[in-house]
Amino acid sequence: MMVWQMDHSGGLVYRDLFAYYQTHWINSLHLDSSFLQRYIKGRKMSNAVVIEAWNTVLFTKFTRFKYLFVEGYAAISEQAFERHPPTVGSKVLDVGCGFGDCTVRIAHLIGDKGLACGVDCASNFIQQCELLAEQEALKNTQFFVADVEVSDLSGPYDQAFARFGTMFFNMPSLAMKNIRASLKPGGKFTQVVWRKREANPWLYDAEICVRNIVPVVSHDETDAVHCGPGPFSMAGPDMVSDMLQAVGFERIQFERFDSEICIGRNVDEAIQFALEIGPAGEIIRLAGDEGVRLKGEVESALVDVIGKFKREDGTIWAPSSAWFITAFNPM
């Protein structure tokens, strides 16, 4: 059965249907990536808008709250590494590597004889990654700018890893197919993605609050750059496992991981975080002048929404829930 989902900008998106047909159609064609690149350009299905967003407005926002992401996400990926450790001496691809902290962690885990390669579509993020590797004097990291949906990923890799790096692909099955093609036979792909929005009040409660106040502008109704499908696009195990299987992965497993995540050192900071990051922030940004006009009203409403997550020391921690998804390239 097809499950219709609301995307973060409020439009009804037919992700399951789209991913299903996209996957089966693309798979049946056995095309090489240069053909696909030409096809996508020709059909105006290019990822340019999403890439521009990650390189500009989203890069700025994520940089502002980098300290929250680096610590908060590390707590989650440490669990993923504990359960699915990268093999010492192996070559590992970190997909959608962002600031590169996860790639650097992989580099430490695989040791000097391994190689941790971080790929991201946004050159601004890759510059940050290179600075970090330089600061840590690491010799076993490499970073490169590429669109994971269509570019050569410089494999073959023993393993691929993605911490919240796969949920923003416009054409996720193209990306999954390309990642599998970059793995050695038997290679393992571990993804960390958010589970359903209701299990992630750290993002979703602010989104509901904003939706009640700000008119939602869908991606189709605006020329503004946007982040792509959004943080919950890989939350459905049926759709995601169908997609992984259709592009050739096998032994697909989902493990649930629940934890509390810090979204601010105090209520004000958590409100600013909610207003800038995730679906709530995107709704306000895409609403343009109306978003600016209503921001004060949203801020007041968020005091209670955020306040309920306050700990005794004043810091704000809200429940989050992720999937650790593992899949293998056949031998």
**Applying CB under 6 A, does 230 fall inside the site for ligand SAM?**
no
From 81, 125, 189, 273, residue interacting with ligand SAM (rule: CB under 6 A): 125
With vertex at residue 201, the alpha carbon angle to CA 49 and CA 61, rounded to the nearest 5 degrees, is 35
Q: Which range, of 27-35, 91-99, 247-255, 319-327, touches ligand SAM by CB under 6 A?
A: 91-99
State whether residue 90 is helix, strand or coil: coil
Q: Are 273 and 68 in contact (CB under 8 A)?
A: yes
**Applying CB under 6 A, does 282 fall inside the site for ligand SAM?**
no
How far, in Å, CA of 57 to CA of 65, rounded? 13
**Applying CB under 6 A, does 36 fall inside the site for ligand SAM?**
no
Q: Which range, of 141-149, 198-206, 247-255, 305-313, touches ligand SAM by CB under 6 A?
A: 141-149
In the bound state with ligand SAM, the residue whose beta carbon lies nearer, of 7 and 149, is: 149
**Applying CB under 6 A, does 180 fall inside the site for ligand SAM?**
no
In the bound state with ligand SAM, the residue whose beta carbon lies nearer, of 168 and 328, is: 168
Here the tokens at position 6 are 């609301």
CB of 92 to ligand SAM, least distance (A): 13
From 157, 164, 317, 324, residue interacting with ligand SAM (rule: CB under 6 A): 164
From 169, 194, 249, 323, residue interacting with ligand SAM (rule: CB under 6 A): 169
DSSP string for 121-137: S-HHHHHHHHHHHHHTT
Angle, nearest 10°, between helix axes 15-29 and 237-246? 10
**Applying CB under 6 A, does 323 fall inside the site for ligand SAM?**
no
Identify the H or E element spanning 256: strand 250-264
Q: Which range, of 29-37, 117-125, 207-215, 281-289, touches ligand SAM by CB under 6 A?
A: 117-125
**Applying CB under 6 A, does 205 fall inside the site for ligand SAM?**
no
**Applying CB under 6 A, does 102 fall inside the site for ligand SAM?**
yes
In the bound state with ligand SAM, the residue whose beta carbon lies nearer, of 155 and 267, is: 155
CB of 172 to ligand SAM, least distance (A): 9
With 0-12 / 13-18 / 19 or more C-beta atoms within 10 angstroms meaning exposed / middle / buried, residue 252 is middle
From 19, 57, 73, 114, residue interacting with ligand SAM (rule: CB under 6 A): 73
Q: Are 102 and 77 in contact (CB under 8 A)?
A: yes
**Applying CB under 6 A, does 182 fall inside the site for ligand SAM?**
no
With 0-12 / 13-18 / 19 or more C-beta atoms within 10 angstroms meaning exposed / middle / buried, residue 103 is buried
How far, in Å, CA of 89 to CA of 86, rounded? 9
Report which residue's Cβ sits closest to ligand SAM.
98
Where b means 16+ CB within 10 Å and e means fewer, 21-45 reads: ebbeebeeeeeebeebbeebeeeee
**Site of interaction with ligand SAM (CB under 6 A):** 47, 50, 54, 69, 73, 96-99, 102, 119-122, 125, 147-149, 163-165, 168-169
